[in-house]
A and B are shown apart, each in its own frame.
Chain A
């Protein structure tokens, strides 16, 4: 489903991603962990093409995009972006639109689908994320957990092959974390392909087929959660997990 090959991304003079290589199979759930500033967000944003890598290649489905310092065609970028939907740490719902308006906005405008059909589809999705009772509310009147569940529904409405989550619960009060994680676990059970940046190690153990540990611009270690989280073979991974344990 996704192949990332020698991906490199730098800002001005600082290289954040040196050379990233990994693959995600269809239906797989991959959790991305790593220290603060290690480039997890940057990598996820590269997958959604919100950030343009300096070099390397990303392959999704049948489409591949090779990056170089030179400019490249914008429509190729859009082709690749269609594969993924992004859920942000800070939700970024559209505040001037109700929950229903938020989730039908993009398919209505981009895919030009009929509104009636979208509302039907939206109701089903909101049911699934437990937000149907709030469909006519504005984001400002919702809790963080509710906003994030609406944001998940909004991304799902575009029916992306891959869902990308950037620390979906780290802006939430502790008692709201569970309701959001439950929704994501539900998606995992349905076989949704996902890449999730998270610090919730227990959650990662439950949902992940594969855990990637990123540090210093490289994927340092990857494997099933039991291996990477409980029996890491690299020193950097051990140090990181030790630090997390100390915090909790």
Chain B
């Protein structure tokens, strides 16, 4: 430990100049993080919707695979799953020629399970009367799902879904371990070269934080839009 406050070497804690100089590299890394995150959000959401609907099916052909998928993905660390994809699959002849693709696949599949559970509980929380009203008006399952249930479920699913989006952004940092040169990877390179670990990792942390603040802003706007029809008496 340090003896007195004055002995802390502040420039080792946060070296602004170093951050400024390495910013282009960090932002390049951020770009790759964002590519992985954006693709993963879209895939995880779409796949999550499909799996949620499968999971709610009465027929085991649909709900059994969905349950196993959700259980496995939630029950295993994302990092381990990414290792399996990138280092394990080549053994059976499946090789990702780009680790970014492996990263997207890993993050998407893993978070799809969480999305599926959020979507399922949101769909189930729409009152049964809504299904029955639509059914009695001769609407079929797909139309009812898409036009009546999903819009109402979306409002309920928004906050937890955006938490997942933030987790996805943070989860992309795990792909640095399979040599994806994303944000954390770039920070590590500079830290290794300059021995200024504190500065570089704090810089990386702050950048992740800013991204999540922006995501949070979109969440707020969407929530406002989806709450429009409530309580306007």
A residues at B contact (CB < 8 Å): 48, 50, 78, 81-82, 85-86, 88, 90, 92-97, 105-106, 109-110, 138-141, 154-155, 158
Contacts and interface: CB of A to CB of B under 8 A. Distances in A.
A109 B139 CA distance: 7
Contacts, number: 68
23 contacts: A50-B135, A50-B136, A86-B136, A88-B132, A92-B133, A93-B133, A94-B134, A94-B148, A95-B229, A95-B230, A96-B151, A97-B229, A105-B137, A105-B139, A105-B148, A110-B140, A138-B228, A138-B232, A139-B229, A140-B229, A140-B232, A140-B233, A155-B136
Interface string B202-233: 00000000000000000000000000111111
B227 to A, nearest CB: 10
B130 interface: yes
Interface in B84-137: 127, 129-130, 132-137
Summarize B's interface: helix, strand, loop or mixed: helix
A82 B229 CA distance: 30
B35 to A, nearest CB: 34
A105 B138 contact: no
Nearest to A139: B229
Please tell me the size bucket of the interface on B.
Answer: 20 to 34
B138 A81 contact: yes
A82 B152 contact: no
Nearest to B228: A138
B31 interface: no
Contacts of B231: 140-141
Contact of B138 (A82, A90, A92, A96): A82
Given A50-B136, A155-B136, 15 more contacts: A50-B132, A78-B138, A81-B136, A92-B129, A92-B132, A95-B229, A105-B148, A106-B137, A110-B140, A138-B229, A140-B231, A140-B233, A141-B233, A155-B137, A158-B138
B147 interface: yes
